[in-house]
Amino acid sequence: MKASGNRLTREQARELLVKLDAAMAGSSGRSSREALVKFLNSSVPTYSWVGVYLVEGKDLVLDAWAGPAATEHTRIPIGKGVCGFAAKAGRTEIVSDVSKDPRYLQCFLSTKSEIVVPISNQGSVIGEIDVDGDQLDAFSSLDREFLEAVARKASNVWS
């Protein structure tokens, strides 16, 4: 099943960006990342699992997540998987069908599509937001714009 019916709309994205500040207000460090992933996972129906990875040396380390289950991929070498690729390239990756992408590292059998958005500070990638979708083609260029705006806010708070 495709996700086009319940994908994020431009109006929702605008509202969520306003609400995000309130969701993260008053917290810092990991608790603000916990607040962010919970907020995204509970606000957008297509965001089935949401995680924040932080760069630690040559790896990405899972710092906060929200969704139905934990992932075994809590440490991913930069360059490996869709996550590692996005961190190395410093740009957003959208995979509309994970079964067709040889880079994909499987976490959940239910995942059909994925978007990974780097969080950068002064030109360096410091982390990323990883969202798994249970439907094919769950993420559009609007999700990219929205999550890139979220990543800019996150970078201001965390770096």
Q: Which residues pair with 75 in a beta bridge?
A: 61
Residue type, position 113, single letter? S
Reference 122, options 156, 88, 84, 82; nearest CA is 156
One residue of 35, 36, 112, 114 binding ligand SME per CB under 6 A: 114
DSSP label of 15 = H
* Cβ 21 to ligand SME shortest distance, Å: 26
How far is residue 53's CA from residue 11's CA, in Å, rounded to a whole number? 28
Q: Which is nearer to ligand SME, 18 or 109 (CB)?
A: 109
Instruction: Pick out residues in 62-91 that bind ligand SME (CB under 6 A).
Output: 71, 73, 76, 81-83
* Per-residue binding letters, 140-159, with ligand SME (x by CB under 6 A): --------------------
Between CA 103 and CA 62, with CA 59 as vertex, the angle to 5 degrees is 85
Angle between the N-to-C axes of helices 10-24 and 29-43, in degrees from 0 to 180, rounded to the nearest 10: 150
The answer to whether residue 133 forms part of the interface with ligand SME (CB under 6 A) is: no
Residue type, position 127, single letter? G
**Number of residues binding to ligand SME, judged by CB under 6 A:** 13
Instruction: Pick out residues in 88-107 that bind ligand SME (CB under 6 A).
Output: 104-105, 107
One residue of 3, 8, 48, 51 binding ligand SME per CB under 6 A: 51
Q: Which residues bind ligand SME (CB under 6 A)?
A: 51, 71, 73, 76, 81-83, 104-105, 107, 114, 130, 132
